[in-house]
Each structure stands twice: as C-alpha cells, then as structure tokens.
A and B are shown apart, each in its own frame.
Chain A
Amino acid sequence: MVAVKRVLDYTARVRVKSDKTGVDLTNVKMSMNPFCEIAVEEAIRVREAKGTDEVVAVSIGPRQAADTLRTALAMGADRALHVHTDAEVQPLAVAKLLAAVARQEQPQLVLLGKQAIDDDSNQTGQMLAGLLGWPQATFASRLELDAAAGTALVTREVDGGLETLRVTLPAVVTSDLRLNEPRYATLPNIMKAKKKLLAATSPEELGVDVAPRLQTLSVEEPAKRKGGVMVASAAELVDKLRNEAKVI
C-alpha cells in the first residue's frame, strides 16, 4: 500500500495570503509530492521483483486528489482508493485514516514519502506505525524485501551517515530522496490507468475523527536577506563583527 499526497508543485512560486492565514493556492500548479512519487516507484519495483502481488495507492483529500491517484495508477499501481474529504487533514488525522485503510487492506508493507513539501511535517509515517503497532524504517535510501522470511532490510539516511535495519513485516517505510528515480508515466500506461479501479470512501465510512488538533496562528514570509557588504580591511571586518553583528 502506498500513500500519496497532492501538494503544490515544487517549482511553483507562492505568495502568503494578506490575512496571514496561509499560502495563496489559487491557480497554482499542483502535483504529486516528490517523496510520494519515490514511494510509488519503490512499490512498483517491489512488485516487479515479485515481492508482492499488488500495489494499492491511497490518497486523502478533496475531489482533485483523484488526479494524483491517476498519476500513481499511470506509473503502475494496480488500483487506488480515494478517501474523499474537503476538511483540512493534519498528519495525525491522515495517520488514523491510513491505519483504518491498512486494517482493511492488510498490506505487507506501507510506503509513504518521508514528508510533504507543503508542511514538511515528517510525522505521518511514524504516527501510522505507532497506531498500527508495526515496525517503522524511515528516511529509506534502500529497501530489500525478503518475502519468504517475512522481513525487509532497510538502509536509512541519518545524521551520522547510513543505518541499516532489519524489520519484520508488515512494516511502515518512508522514502528519502535517494531511494530511487521515479519513472515517467508512459502513454500506454496512462490509457490503461483509466480502466483501473479507483474506489472512493470517506472518513465517516472509516469511522475516523479528523478534527484538527493544531491551529495555525499565522503564516509569514521569511525575513528578506540583507545584501552583503564589502569591507576594505581586516580591521574593518573585526570592527563590524564586534560592533554591528555583535558576534565577537
């Protein structure tokens, strides 16, 4: 099972709304979160290596989330499930919804992107594993499934370098940038995707309360960087560091 999120395109220029409640998304190009794309690619590779029979893509969101699911199907996922809601869903709610779906679908592996580029939360995969009581291997840069043994070997990118874990299945794995390079959606697959099953459900049907637990107080642009200054001598540099920047 692979979870995907529809986010603003990573090259899109955004403006903060004048009332500071968020970012202005009108007419901004949206696409699949890049880390989710990597997760989908990895899921398909696992199926191609015969580690599993089926890849199911899941997404939570408004009507347009179905477009992201169509992309996942065009990349090669076998079927998709759209949890339709217009409400704002925060990571905890997403984790609860995915847990409910996982209990229905009973996958061997749940793949997610390590974080979404709109909120950079980096929480959903971890919370999902906690709710399900499954092992988790996050920031994966390499995944090797041993279906017969019921385990997976995962290399993680951590601050100190690379860490390798063996987890028992079923498990939650979140993808990092170097896990793979996602394939393009080819035209024949895009056509085939139209015939694949895209089922819909809702938080109510899954019995999950998605009320937000976090309140956004304000959203502001980062402070503008001031231009650099050329100094004429080392003495001037020391003077500025001491008296202006006050760092020495």
Chain B
Amino acid sequence: MFLTSSGQARSGLLWALRHVRRASGAPARDPRFAALEDSDLQFFDSVLGAGGVVTDPHSLQPFNEDWLGKYKGSTRVALKPKTTEQAAAILRHCNSRRLAVGGNTGLVGGSVPVYDEVVVSTVCMNKVLSFDTVSGTLTAQAGCILEALDSHVAGHGYCMPLDLGAKGSCQIGGNVSTNAGGLRLLRYGSLHGSVLGLEAVLPGGEVLDLLTTLRKDNTGYDLKQLFIGAEGTLGLVTAVAIQCPPRPLAVNVAYLAVPTFAAAQQVLVAAKRQLGEVLSAFEFLDKESLAITLRHLPGTKDPLPGCQAPIFLVVETSGSSAAHDSDKLERFLEGVMEEGLVSDGVLAQDSAQVQQVWQLREGITTALRHRGAVYKYDVSLPISQMYALVEEMRTRLTTALPHLAGSSGGAGSGGGGGGDGSDDDGPPIRVAGYGHLGDVPGYSKEICEQIEPYVYEWTAQHRGSVSAEHGLGLMKAGCIGYSKPPAAVAVMRQIKAALDPHGIMNPYKVLPPEL
C-alpha cells in the first residue's frame, strides 16, 4: 500500500461490524474432510511419479510454515505437479475423497495448511509458454517466478506490470490468485486489468481454459476475474496470460525527507501534477522503518546520515527519454524544496544508487522479520488518515504495554525477537509505518489483543479497507465484514458453493466460517 490508494467511502459501516469476529484464532478442523490414507499416496505417486510427492516431515516444513513464521499447519503431503493435467487429476481425486487442499511468500497465512490439508505446489510448473514480442503478451505456467519472468521479457524490451519485494521467490500463479499489487500499481494498474487470460483447474478436476491473449473479448461473463484474488478458494490457477508494458528506457529515483506526513501528501499532489505520466512509483517509509532496515538488513546505507526527518519518500519516474524525464524531475524537486515541503533528499546518479534506494523500501519487510516477530497490517485508508493509525497504535501500545513499548531506549527485556536492546535498537516493541504496520518481539496473545480488533475497527471507522493488497487468508478470514456488506458476502458464498461444493479448496480462509 502506498499513498495513492485511497480507501473508497463506504456508507453504514457500523452495522457491518456485527458480523465480524477477531481473526486470530482458526476454527476447529472441519470433520467433513477425510484424512489422508496410503491409498491416496499411492494414487498421487502414480500420477506424479518420483519427486512429485513429498512426505518427509523435514521437507514438508517450508510448506507447513509461512514466511513470517506466524502460521503453522500439519500437512502430511505436498504435491508438485508438472502439468495442468496432473494438477487436474490430483484435484479430481481430492474432491472425490473430500481431502482438503491448500497452496505457499503470502503474508496473511493463506498459503499454509491450517490442519492436514494436502498441499499442492506449482513450483515445478515453471515454463514460459509463449511471448509475443509485438504485442507484449506473455503466457506462462503458474509456477514461474516473477523476477525470472521479468528477466525473460526484459530481453525483448518489456517488463512485468507488477513488482514487489518478494519478486525473487513469488510465483505468478500466486500473484494472480492474491491479486498482488506492489510498487508499480500506481503506473500499471492492478492484475484485474493486466491479466488477459488464465487457465485454472476447478475443484472437481475440470480444466477451465480461459487462456486467451486477446485484449478485447466481450463474450459472456468474465470468469477469470473470479479467480484473480480468490486466494485459491475457487480453483487452482495453472497458467496465466499477462499484458507486459514496454520496459522504460529511463528510470530516475529520488529519495526525499519530508517534515510531516501532511507535507508528504502535498508532495504527492505536486508529483502527480508535475511529473504526470512519467511518475511510476511513490512510496513512503517512516523513521522507524528506516532505522530497523539500516540495522537489520546488511548492505544498506543511509543516504542522508544525520537527517532527523520523520518521513521519507521514494519517488520514481519511468519514461522513454532520459533527458526529458531528468528535466521534469529536477524542476519538480526544485519546486518542492523551495516550498519547504521537502527538507532534504538525494537523486540517484546511476543504477547502483537506484537499487540501493529501492532496497531501503523493499527490504523493510525482510529487516522486520530479522528483528523478530511481525504483526503486519496491510490496510488502505484515505490518504489523510494513513499515518494517523500508526501514531494511534504507537500511543496505544505504549500506554498498554509500557514495559515493552515505552520509549526508554536501550534496556528491552522483551521476549524472543531481534534487538538485544543493549545497543541502539530501541524498545522491543516498535511500530513502523510504511504503508504496512507492525513490529513486535514475539507473537503473544497479550500484544495481539491490543492490536486486534482495534486496527480493523479504526480502519472501518475511517472508511478504509482492512486488506489493501495482502488478501484475507487465514489472518483476516472473518474480517471481511469490516469492508464488505453482508449481501456481498452472501453472494460470495453462493459462488463458492457452486464451484467447490465440498469446500476442499483452501478451507478456513477468506470467507468467515458459517455460523
């Protein structure tokens, strides 16, 4: 999430709150699901062959635990199909046996099994199927890694229409199933616009071939939109056709220090007006995020040592002419400095510096993880409210848990987690805002209770979305009521029941359990 995504105004939010529950605990294992048996394993073996069926507990560990280390499941088998036909055979079998099926760099526990669901990973389906160099349409299997796809199309002068910190390990199928946003959403829009087609295997095993590369196709209901963002609950995405934009020839990045969040908003307005069509990213991070990243991520350097500003911005332009873009950018920067909206900043002089500046923003999540457990809240709010939530949460935690969140510098006795407190890592609990929130030393019920449902209620009151980009997964299943009215949730249930009558696809997630 970043400054430009403004939450849409919703009316009558408070009545929606009666349908919500706090999301932290998962419901009990659904007894309608069968348990895995040897005959199932034999079947999987016969379809996938050696290497396609993982049962060794040690090898299953990465499938059972999410990237944040917050969610742990207990699957006994992970399957790695190489083709759509294999994936279809697996799902057909699971559906007839009523074995639940789960998916894997997601941030809301949507990609790990809750109990013993069979994990299906598309990691072996990593072939690029085709790329049209004239139109820029890429067709690839779901297991292709985003960064690898970007390198592939770069050779022809194109780039992927999305970019996120996890690009080195996230798969395009997962990006589509979660409708991932990322740093370039500002410029290229969401996947709902850039995905031209997809192929999915329905829960019953039928292959739904919607893999068209046509830009215009108004024939019937646009079914692919259902799968984009469904988080695997309606079917398994096995291939994607995506529209790639031309790769910008000239990229410029500026890193700016601003005195207040209000000033940051005005810089955004100025950027949109003066940089116009070349503006490609506008990110913010606060002093907390910067401090944690500099300390916990090796190889990072502070571009403005000694700068005491509370908020920093990363502004990127992408265009076809270096001279034209640099000119525009320099005039914009002169303007905002003269008006006092920006107190200091740097302009990257070569691509090494561009990467270093982006590292400060993209590396925050990793740095937070190195420091300790992270409570991550990806909310979208009206721009003016965005940072207020960080400040309120800071006050709230400091008041409620002074021994952990107080600003007494040094001596943190916080359990678990990174900073050893003896050097300047600050108090064990810190609240960092960079569009996402959260940073606490260890996962604990006490801390969680202070955060949830307060964050969701606050967001709902300010007419925002409880999940801008990360989806609902397990963490926020049950929170949909904060952002969508009951009638909408009812229709979603109808669609789910129509496509997945046995409910085997990624259960316990996205939609709240029926009461």
Contact = CB atoms under 8 A, between A and B. Distances in A.
Given A186-B344, A186-B345, A187-B344, A32 B350 contact: yes
Given A29-B250, A184-B348, A186-B345, A191 B353 contact: no
Contacts of B349: 31-32, 37, 71, 74, 184-185
B337 A186 contact: no
B346 A29 contact: no
Contact of A181 (B301, B346, B350): B301
B352 A11 contact: yes
Contacts of A12: 351
A9 interface: yes
Contacts of B350: 9-10, 29, 31-32, 34, 37
Given A27-B249, A29-B322, A181-B301, A187 B352 contact: no
Given A11-B352, A31-B349, A187 B337 contact: yes
A248 to B, nearest CB: 35
Interface string B425-466: 000000000000000000000000000000000000000000
A198 interface: no
Contacts of A71: 349
Interface string B238-265: 0000000000011000111000000000
A143 to B, nearest CB: 21
Contacts of B304: 184, 186
A66 B348 CA distance: 17
Contacts of A27: 249
Contacts of B333: 187, 190
Interface string A21-38: 000000101011010010
Contact of B303 (A10, A74, A184): A184
A216 to B, nearest CB: 26
A74 B334 CA distance: 14
Q: How large is the interface on A (under 10, 10 to 19, 20 to 34, 35 or more residues)?
A: 20 to 34
Given A27-B249, A29-B250, A29-B322, A184 B337 contact: no
A146 B355 CA distance: 37
A interface: dominant SS: mixed
B352 A184 contact: no
B130 to A, nearest CB: 22
Contacts, number: 60
B277 interface: no
A185 B487 CA distance: 55
Contact of A190 (B154, B250, B347, B355): B347
Given A29-B322, A190-B347, A184 B334 contact: no
Interface string A168-188: 000000000000010011111
Contacts of A186: 304, 344-346
A184 B250 contact: no
Contacts of B352: 10-11, 34
A226 B346 CA distance: 43
A187 B345 contact: yes
Contacts of B355: 11
Contacts of B347: 74, 184-185, 187, 190
A32 B351 CA distance: 11
Interface string A139-159: 000000000000000000000
A117 to B, nearest CB: 11
A188 B337 contact: yes
Nearest to A181: B301
Contacts of A187: 254, 256, 333, 337, 342, 344-347
A71 B252 CA distance: 14
Contacts of A184: 255, 303-304, 346-349, 353
Contacts of A29: 249-250, 322, 350-351
Interface string B321-335: 010000000100110
A31 B351 contact: yes
Contacts of B344: 186-188
Interface string A188-208: 101100000000000000000
Interface in B289-341: 301, 303-304, 322, 330, 333-334, 337
A178 to B, nearest CB: 15
Contacts of A9: 350-351
Nearest to B348: A184
A39 B352 CA distance: 17
Contact of A191 (B154, B334, B346): B334
Interface string B248-288: 01100011100000000000000000000000000000000
Given A31-B351, A185-B349, 14 more contacts: A9-B350, A11-B351, A29-B350, A31-B350, A32-B349, A34-B352, A184-B303, A184-B348, A184-B353, A186-B345, A187-B337, A187-B347, A188-B337, A191-B334
17 contacts: A10-B352, A12-B351, A13-B154, A27-B249, A29-B350, A31-B350, A31-B351, A32-B349, A34-B350, A74-B347, A74-B349, A184-B346, A184-B347, A186-B346, A187-B256, A187-B333, A187-B346
Interface of A: 9-13, 27, 29, 31-32, 34, 37, 71, 74, 181, 184-188, 190-191
